[in-house]
RNA sequence: GCGCCCGUAGCUCAAUUGGAUAGAGCGUUAGCCUCCGGAGCUAAAGGUUACAGGUUCGAUUCCUGUCGGGCGCACCA
């Protein structure tokens, strides 16, 4: 892989040039320049260490270039440019061999850390990604859908880059929200069977409450209503059913979770109490106004937080701390949590409380998944959370399909608001970027079928006389394919899955250009085989990129009912 | 009032963590199907990166302030 060759090369070059230090190598940043004239790879290392080395940037760059170990099979040119950039240019032989190497690496399987695009950057670092974690009080909404797409993609990206990452879903099945659910369903049920019962203030609204009430057995429900703890029965019955809905929808959507952890487990196991005592033992608690507080201000929070209310019940914070402590105890070295936009106020308190418990300051990383505005006909789709009327994950899957939904959610950076154009997503034509990428994949599959009918397959070689990739469109495409591992590495490192769809759209565009300029299957057998391998390598890269996004890569695509018009 | 996110082409968004001449899609305009899938391609037009300062070799990116939009600021989650 090019990235590791460059990294190793600079370690060697720094030593040979008498400029070695661990810290300088750590500052090495390799990038693929957007301007082709600046080569295929570039680094500003000389600019960064010039001051420290006491020499002008260009002199440092010249020294590094002179000392850089040459591999003519990989790079034909290493140049110093501008104020001191070092630019690398691929050798023709490297580009010619690239398709074969990509095909040898094969399909990407993130969980197995295998395939073209994977590289062991992290040596199995245990990372946990907690995402969605919706309350079990209703169907999953569009922000949940966005979080599901992003979280699942992050898990795959992390595994592809040598982390050992698991997805996890935290179920808030204790506390006031699910109690309120129980009260709401109990009231709806009572309504159904003709027993007067007040609907709770701020109770949950929406059609699904009636569905739940209908599903619950009239016999058991009536008995439960009569008992003292009727609401607990309704709460438990309802949240299990809602959890089943959520699990089913997420599985269908392709978001996988290694574990579903319940808040109630933490209470039952004594983890919450143990956390409280651990905080107390560390001198981080105090009593005031009848409540128990944790000294988070000592660790960067703007106020201390209540962990046990004057009623004796814990606030949300305590089980949250217990949960994250449990993650650490299970061997995860890092936790990436995806939270909704209305929860950013919880970041500082939780981080501070975890430190109060002795966890590393950077153990927890929180990504905010920003809100989604659904647009239809250029207008926002009206949703009323109060009335329980909103578009659900299931609605989205039925309307535009899981592939398209995931592609759209992953197109934008996670922490920016997203305007989701439903009309565009519904369109099955070239304006829809999801189809654009999938179409390129299907088109290549079609070319391969066409070639196979003529006895040509990418695995065949014409022999020593086989031509290289000479046409500009071929070279542009090969260079684009070579960039894929770096997109995966950068996307994982920056937690930015949106780089994948952007790259795939570019790759598809470059392929289409190649297709128009270069006839793949022709009378020239040797040339046909070389181009067929390039096309197949492109198909594999598109497949691998889509796989990281959780989007299918179809062999064929047919439009729905358009011939009729 | 305080905190977080955002402000880039008519619209929706990128810009490789501070890099070299700010790029795509949609929309607009003008073209390309005897040939491997036209769900495709080519070209044109479109910008004082909200505004004003600052930091340095270099700023869309970092800092300060102003303006505008969103979300928080509980002994709910």
Residue A228 has pLDDT above 70, yes or no: no
Q: What is the C-alpha separation between A334 and A129, in angstroms, rounded?
A: 9
Cβ proximity of A363 and A328 under 8 Å: yes
| Chain B footprint bases within 7 A of protein beta carbons | 2-7, 12-21, 23-27, 35-42, 57-58, 69-77
| Helix-, strand-, coil-residue percentages of chain A, each rounded to 5 | 55, 15, 35
Q: Which residue is nearest to nucleotide B32 (CA to C1')?
A: A516
Strand B atom within 7 Å of A507 CB = no
By mean pLDDT, which of A25-29, A61-65, A191-195, A200-204 is the weakest? A200-204
Cα-Cα-Cα-Cα torsion A249, A252, A257, A258, nearest 10 degrees, comes to 130
CA distances from A40 to A3, A34, A529 (A): 11, 9, 26
Q: What is the pLDDT of residues A262-289, one digit of tens each?
A: 999 999 999 999 999 999 999 999 999 9
**pLDDT tens track for A120-129:** 999 999 999 9
What CA–CA distance (Å, rounded) separates A355 from A335? 14
Determine if strand B comes within 7 Å of the CB of A56: no
CATH 3.30.1360.70 in chain A, residue ranges: 2-90
CATH number of A429-549: 1.10.730.10
The span from the CA of A18 to the CA of A313, in Å, is: 64
Quickly give A512 CA vs B70 C1' distance in Å. 39
Residues 278-307 of A with CB under 7 A from strand B: 289-291, 302, 306
Q: Mean pLDDT over residues A225-230, rounded?
A: 71
Q: Which band of pLDDT confidence, cut at 50, 70 and 90, is reported for residue A564?
A: very low
Give the distance, in angstroms, between residue A445 CA and nucleotide B39 C1': 15
Q: Residue A45 CA to nucleotide B14 C1', Å? A: 25
SS3 A526: helix
Q: Is the CB of A412 under 7 A from strand B?
A: yes
Q: Dihedral, CA atoms, A186, A192, A197, A203, nearest 10 degrees? A: 50
Proportion of chain A above pLDDT 70, given as a percent:
97
User: When comparing pLDDT for A276 and A461, which is higher?
Assistant: A276
Give the per-residue pLDDT at A429. 72
Tokens of A441: 């994949």
Q: How far is the CA of A136 from the C1' of B60 (A)?
A: 41
pLDDT confidence bin for A403, thresholds 50/70/90: very high
- DSSP annotation string for A543-555: HHHHHHHT----S
A468 touches strand B (CB under 7 A): no
Report the 3 state secondary structure along A352-394. HHHHHCCCCCCCEEEEECCCEEEEECCEECCCECCCCECCEHH
Pick the closest to residue A12 from A64, A50, A54 (CA basis). Answer: A64
Name the nt closest to A493 by C-alpha to C1'.
B17
DSSP-assigned letter for residue A460: -
Mean pLDDT score of chain A: 91
CA A412 / C1′ B8 distance in Å? 15
pLDDT in tens, A180-210: 999 899 999 988 888 888 888 888 888 899 9
What sign results for the dihedral spanned by CA atoms A355, A358, A362, A368? Answer: negative
Which of A68-77, A206-215, A220-229, A311-320 has the least mean pLDDT? A220-229
Could you check: is the Cβ of residue A439 within 7 Å of any atom of nucleic acid strand B?
Answer: yes
Could you count the other beta carbons within 10 Å of the beta carbon of residue A73? 10
pLDDT at A123: 95
A386 CB inside 7 Å of strand B: no
CATH 1.10.730.10 domain residues, chain A: 429-549
Look up the CATH architecture of domain A2-90: 2-Layer Sandwich (3.30)
A47 touches strand B (CB under 7 A): yes
List the single protein residue with the shortest CA to C1' distance from B40.
A512
Closest by Cα among A139, A144, A133, A134 to A205: A139
Q: How far apart are the first and last CA of chain A?
A: 50
Q: Among all strands, which nt has the closest C1' to A375 (CA)?
A: B12
Return the percentage of chain A with pLDDT > 90, whole number.
71
Q: What's the CA–C1' distance between A68 and B48, in Å?
A: 43
Q: Is A358 left (phi over 0), alpha (psi -120 to 50) or beta?
A: left
Collapsed DSSP state (helix, strand, coil) of residue A91: coil
CB atoms within 10 A of CB A547: 20
Calculated CA dihedral for residues A51, A53, A55, A60, nearest 10 degrees: -110
Q: Is the CB of A562 under 7 A from strand B?
A: no
């Amino acid at each position: 892989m090019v990235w590791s060759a460059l990294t190793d090369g600079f370690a060697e070059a720094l030593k040979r040039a008498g400029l070695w230090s661990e810290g300088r190598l750590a500052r090495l940043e390799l990038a693929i320049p957007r301007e082709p004239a600046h080569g295929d790879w570039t680094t500003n290392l000389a600019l960064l260490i010039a001051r420290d080395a006491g020499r002008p940037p260009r002199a440092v760059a010249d020294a590094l270039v002179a000392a850089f170990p040459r591999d003519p099979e990989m790079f034909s040119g290493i140049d110093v440019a501008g104020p001191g950039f070092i630019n690398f240019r691929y050798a023709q032989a490297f580009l010619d061999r690239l398709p074969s190497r990509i095909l040898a690496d094969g399909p990407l399987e993130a969980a197995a850390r295998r395939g073209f695009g994977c590289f062991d950057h992290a040596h199995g670092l245990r990372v946990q990604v907690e995402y969605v974690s919706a309350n079990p009080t209703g169907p999953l909404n569009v922000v949940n859908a966005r979080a599901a797409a992003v979280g699942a993609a992050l898990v795959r990206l992390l595994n592809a880059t040598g982390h050992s990452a698991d997805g996890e879903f935290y179920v808030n099945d204790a506390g006031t929200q699910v109690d309120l659910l129980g009260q709401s369903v109990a009231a709806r049920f009572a309504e159904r069977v003709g027993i007067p019962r007040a609907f709770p203030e701020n109770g949950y609204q929406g059609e699904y409450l009636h569905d739940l009430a209908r599903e619950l057995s009239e016999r058991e429900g009536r008995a439960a209503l009569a008992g003292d703890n009727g609401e607990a029965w309704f709460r438990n019955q309802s949240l299990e059913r809602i959890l089943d809905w959520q699990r089913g929808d997420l599985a269908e959507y392709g978001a996988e979770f290694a574990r579903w952890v319940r808040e109630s487990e933490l209470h039952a196991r004594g983890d919450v109490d143990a956390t409280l005592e651990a905080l107390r033992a560390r001198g981080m608690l105090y009593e005031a106004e009848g409540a128990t507080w944790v000294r988070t201000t000592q660790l960067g929070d703007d106020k201390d937080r209540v962990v046990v209310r004057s009623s004796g019940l814990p606030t949300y914070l305590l089980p949250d701390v217990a949960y994250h402590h449990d993650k650490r105890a299970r061997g995860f070295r890092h936790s990436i949590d995806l939270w909704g936009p209305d929860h950013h106020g919880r970041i500082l308190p939780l981080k501070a409380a975890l430190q109060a418990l002795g966890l590393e300051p950077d153990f927890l990383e929180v990504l905010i998944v920003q809100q989604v505005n659904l647009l239809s006909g250029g207008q926002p789709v009206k949703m009323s959370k109060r009335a329980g009327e909103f578009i659900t994950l299931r609605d989205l899957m039925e309307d535009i399909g899981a592939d398209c939904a995931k592609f759209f959610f992953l197109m934008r950076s996670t922490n920016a608001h997203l305007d989701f154009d439903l009309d565009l997503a519904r369109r099955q034509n070239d304006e829809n970027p999801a189809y654009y990428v999938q179409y390129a994949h299907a088109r290549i599959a079609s070319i391969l079928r066409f070639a196979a009918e003529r006895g040509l397959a990418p695995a065949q070689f014409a022999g020593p006389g086989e031509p290289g990739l000479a046409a500009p469109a071929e070279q542009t495409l090969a260079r684009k394919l070579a960039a894929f591992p770096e997109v995966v590495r950068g996307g994982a490192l920056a937690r930015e899955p949106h780089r994948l769809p952007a790259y795939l759209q570019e790759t598809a565009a470059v392929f289409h250009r190649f297709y128009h300029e270069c006839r793949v299957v022709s009378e020239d057998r040797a040339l046909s085989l070389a181009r067929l391998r390039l096309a197949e390598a492109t198909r594999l890269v598109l497949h691998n990129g889509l796989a990281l996004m959780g989007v299918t890569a179809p062999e064929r695509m047919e439009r729905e009912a358009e011939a009729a018009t």
